[in-house]
Amino acid sequence: MALIVQKFGGTSVGDLDRIRNVAARVKSEVDAGNQVAVVVSAMAGTTNQLVSWARDIGPMHDAREYDAIVATGEQVTVGLLAIALQNQGVDARSWLGWQIPIRTDDVHGAARIDSIDTTLMRARLASGQVAVVAGFQGIAPDGRVATLGRGGSDTSAVALAAALDADRCDIYTDVDGVYTTDPRIAPKAQKLERITFEEMLEMASLGAKVLQTRSVAMAMRHNVNLQVRSSFSDAPGTLVVNEDAIVEQEKISGIAYSPDEAKVTIQGLPDKPGIAAAIFGELADNHINVDMIVQSAASEGQRTDITFSLGRGDLDKALEIIGGNKEGLAFQGVDSKGDVTKISVVGTAMRSQPGVAKTMFETLAERGINIEVISTSEIKISVLIASDYTELAVRSLHSAFGLDSED
Amino acid sequence: MALIVQKFGGTSVGDLDRIRNVAARVKSEVDAGNQVAVVVSAMAGTTNQLVSWARDIGPMHDAREYDAIVATGEQVTVGLLAIALQNQGVDARSWLGWQIPIRTDDVHGAARIDSIDTTLMRARLASGQVAVVAGFQGIAPDGRVATLGRGGSDTSAVALAAALDADRCDIYTDVDGVYTTDPRIAPKAQKLERITFEEMLEMASLGAKVLQTRSVAMAMRHNVNLQVRSSFSDAPGTLVVNEDAIVEQEKISGIAYSPDEAKVTIQGLPDKPGIAAAIFGELADNHINVDMIVQSAASEGQRTDITFSLGRGDLDKALEIIGGNKEGLAFQGVDSKGDVTKISVVGTAMRSQPGVAKTMFETLAERGINIEVISTSEIKISVLIASDYTELAVRSLHSAFGLDSED
């Protein structure tokens, strides 16, 4: 007998029929003799409606009231799913964040989970009752409802799995696993059987929206056995595991891409200490996130260029800030490009295989794709290219690294 | 400085503009130097949607899950109203049933309030903060959300007013007070300045749906100063008061009517002890509420007739039950009528004025309206008449008792 945490997102509980379908999936785990805690999101669309009401009622924004409003979406789903389970002959009860309780910090609207008291729930699980848990919510130190921020139900599920020391945490979603790349632009993309936490983190932060980044980091920290699978099919999903669990990784795991990037080059900066701090400090003060940064080497006493990437939506604001400080920074010119894409090759395999960067650069060069910026981490190589080449680059790299499916 | 409890129903908070309008009304009490606790219902239509989901998800019905689902409607409204108040410069916070807490019994779906702990709320009110309270909900002994049944927000408001020892409890609704009769059928109906709790109870149970019966009974028990007024106008409403507060009542207070009644006469019953118990016990066992009952006098050893009224929707079922027990009851025949209306004259004035019944019967006789059944209480005389005469009877009695407005 295993203890399993299941998580179903908003699409999976989007209407009453789908909730009944979720109940059937829960029941099959119960029938297999397992203890089950199931975490659910709000019905698709509900949270958006609640958020827009909370925003439209007035410009001032009390995050505690916002939380009280938006947390109702999950409260409705847990009640409905508990009834659906009872109607399929499964003993079940709903648990709201404050009832468990799931204790959070006081950052309303984007709270972090401090602790989960599982005493009551464990007793119920042991008696064979399914725990139907409202995702995305907890109770803050002031006794008010707190929410974890968008996508927080993944985090609720992983945190609960850690607190219950669950044997498995299955994240059901509308795709059937993690793919080597986006199947919409590379039809030969394959579902990965396994992926490491580190790789999943890189993929998630690159826009593969299968799992929320925070929940992956938490699963890694607590060594939770995570599985991503489809709520609409019985196909096995993708296991997210510790690196130890993958004996020898020969191939890289995937090609990720992040469109809607922009690039800024500040030319002819004085090559002296403090210049980078001045530029990026001011951008950070204005809540602009900068991603890749490269500085061209300069001879002693010469001028230098700094290039960085950022979200396209922040480009105009960034240019305005830099332009407004031309005297302070003493640069000679600014160049920018609003239509670039970041392409990344991700895989722990590159730790042991030195040829990955070479293969990547050669493949792009063969297709005539110019690399504008390069940055690397231990398990990832990212390049910035012109957006027009996105699909070609993804498909070419996918083939070059041997990831194409055979059919 | 006074402490005021205000209650706004679903129509009054039906959309964001109306919620802003409610905030303005709350603000005017705050600006007048009062402490305010405001109880709100769910936005009109929301509760029906939630109830239908809870019913449609499956035939088995766990009242605890039903409560978790339907209580979310009020949770949304309190959050929105608190934000609306803050945007009008009024310090405010929302309170859910479990946060106060409002403790109830364990009859989920139709719970009764056991106690309200106002310690925390009093401190906040004293600091000038408006308490925005979710109506209709509390927390049961098992720590689960409990709801008070439909219309329960009136009860929440009155109970809170009693617990806070409030100076006034204002029930805002979509009518501007209690009328001498239904203005839709008697255009000369007048708004009452005052009405006693007892009269209000009679009016409420007769279908004047201005206040929930339970909330009136609770206000009477705790001597809460109740006022019914419109959320859409500034006109003064109707005060619901103790009889002592009305020095001398010369007129009766109103003419109420209850359509959708039916009448059954069981003829030729043996006149012996236990017959009434047998008939009405069996109807009660089948959840059929019987209202007026008259038994015609019989000479010693003779047969007798029993006539009673009931809701029209229960008529067929009642006839079936009675017909199925013809041997046991040993009656000779059954007669029924499905289109009768109960007309009632209500007023504490009739305690001191013996002519009320005479005026009522004479007025109806003059119009050729036949009285089928009569029943009386200390402050009410009710008759059953053919439904076709409803409007004529109401208007005639309204005039006869001097209730017509002059314009």
Pair of tokens at residue B194: 């005052």
Q: Are A44 and A134 in a shared domain?
A: yes
Q: Are A136 and A262 in a shared domain?
A: no
Q: Is A245 part of a structural domain of the chain?
A: no
Q: Which residue in the block uniquely carries the two structure tokens 């979310």?
A: B72
Going by C-alpha positions, the residue among A170, A189, A129, A141 that lies closest to residue A40 is: A170
Predicted confidence (pLDDT) at residue A207 exceeds the cutoff of 70: no
Pair of tokens at residue B188: 């000369």
Predicted confidence (pLDDT) at residue B209 exceeds the cutoff of 70: no
> Is A136 within 8 Å of chain B by CB?
no
| CA atoms of A92 and A127, how far apart (whole Å) | 11
Q: Picking from A38-47, A295-304, B70-79, B118-127, which range would have the lowest pLDDT averaged per residue?
A: A295-304
Domain's final residue, options A156, A174, A192: A174
- pLDDT one-digit tens code per residue, B350-370: 887 778 989 999 999 999 999
Domain's final residue, options B150, B174, B198: B174
Instruction: Write the CA distances from A334 to A167, A324, A370, B186, integer angstroms.
Output: 54, 12, 20, 80
Pair of tokens at residue B343: 């007309």
Residue B82's closest chain A neighbor by CA? A65
Predicted confidence (pLDDT) at residue A208 exceeds the cutoff of 60: no
Q: Minimal Cα–Cα distance from A293 to chain B, Å?
A: 42
> Is A59 within 8 Å of chain B by CB?
yes
Amino acid in position B160:
L
**Residue A115, pLDDT score:** 96
Domain's final residue, options A174, A194, A213: A174
3-class DSSP state for residue A302?
coil
Q: Compute the C-alpha angle B98/B103/B106, nearest 5°.
A: 105
Put simply, the answer to whether B75 touches A84 (Cβ < 8 Å) is no
- pLDDT one-digit tens code per residue, A255-280: 999 888 999 999 998 887 788 888 99
Q: Which residues of A touch B143 (CB under 8 A)?
A: 99
Predicted confidence (pLDDT) at residue B247 exceeds the cutoff of 80: no
Predicted confidence (pLDDT) at residue A126 exceeds the cutoff of 90: yes
Predicted confidence (pLDDT) at residue B250 exceeds the cutoff of 90: no
According to DSSP, the residues that pair with B92 across neighbouring strands are B130
pLDDT band at A289 (very low <50, low <70, confident <90, very high): confident
Q: Is B106 part of a structural domain of the chain?
A: yes
**Residue B232, pLDDT score:** 84
Q: Minimal Cα–Cα distance from B164 to chain A, Å?
A: 21
Instruction: Write the CA distances from A390 to A57, A210, A339, A375, A383, integer angstroms.
Output: 41, 21, 11, 17, 11
Give the mean model confidence (pLDDT) for residues B196-225.
83
Q: Is B206 part of a structural domain of the chain?
A: no
Cβ-contact A125, A3 below 8 angstroms: yes
**CA B394: distance to chain centroid?**
20
Number of residues written out for chain A:
407
> Is B69 within 8 Å of chain A by CB?
yes
- pLDDT one-digit tens code per residue, B100-144: 999 999 999 999 999 999 999 999 999 999 999 999 999 999 999
According to DSSP, the residues that pair with B314 across neighbouring strands are none
> Is A82 within 8 Å of chain B by CB?
yes
Pair of tokens at residue A395: 């498909």
According to DSSP, the residues that pair with A376 across neighbouring strands are A381
For a pLDDT cut of 70, what percent of chain B falls above it? 96
Please tell me what DSSP assigns to residue B389: G
Q: Which residue in the block uniquely carries the two structure tokens 């850690």?
A: A162
**For chain A, how many structural domains are there in total?**
2
Q: Are A134 and A269 in a shared domain?
A: no
- pLDDT one-digit tens code per residue, A57-73: 988 778 999 999 999 99
Cβ-contact B19, A57 below 8 angstroms: yes
Put simply, the answer to whether B65 touches A94 (Cβ < 8 Å) is yes
Q: Are B62 and B159 in a shared domain?
A: yes
Q: Are A158 and A285 in a shared domain?
A: no
pLDDT band at B227 (very low <50, low <70, confident <90, very high): very high
Cβ-contact B257, B403 below 8 angstroms: no
Cβ-contact A101, A139 below 8 angstroms: yes
User: In whole numbers, what is the pLDDT of chain A averaged over residues?
Assistant: 91
> Is B82 within 8 Å of chain A by CB?
yes
Cβ-contact A161, A216 below 8 angstroms: no
* CATH code of the domain covering residue A97: 3.40.1160.10
A20, A65, A77, A120: best mutation site toward chain B, by most B Cβ within 10 Å?
A65
Q: Is B343 part of a structural domain of the chain?
A: yes
Q: Are B40 and B136 in a shared domain?
A: yes
3-class DSSP state for residue A387?
helix
Q: Are B270 and B123 in a shared domain?
A: no
Q: Is B214 part of a structural domain of the chain?
A: no
How many CB pairs below 8 Å do chains A and B form together? 113
Q: Are B13 and B150 in a shared domain?
A: yes
For a pLDDT cut of 90, what percent of chain B falls above it? 67
Q: Are A133 and A269 in a shared domain?
A: no
According to DSSP, the residues that pair with A340 across neighbouring strands are A261, A386
Radius of gyration of chain B (CA): 24
Predicted confidence (pLDDT) at residue B148 exceeds the cutoff of 90: yes
Query: Domain containing A301: what range?
Result: 255-400
Q: Are B292 and B391 in a shared domain?
A: yes
Max CA pair span of chain B: 78
| CA atoms of B291 and B203, how far apart (whole Å) | 15
* CATH code of the domain covering residue B275: 3.30.2130.10
Q: Is B326 part of a structural domain of the chain?
A: yes
Predicted confidence (pLDDT) at residue A106 exceeds the cutoff of 70: yes
3-class DSSP state for residue A88?
coil
Q: Are A260 and A152 in a shared domain?
A: no
pLDDT band at A17 (very low <50, low <70, confident <90, very high): very high
> Is A86 within 8 Å of chain B by CB?
yes
Q: Is A234 part of a structural domain of the chain?
A: no
Q: Is B249 part of a structural domain of the chain?
A: no
Q: Are B170 and B259 in a shared domain?
A: no
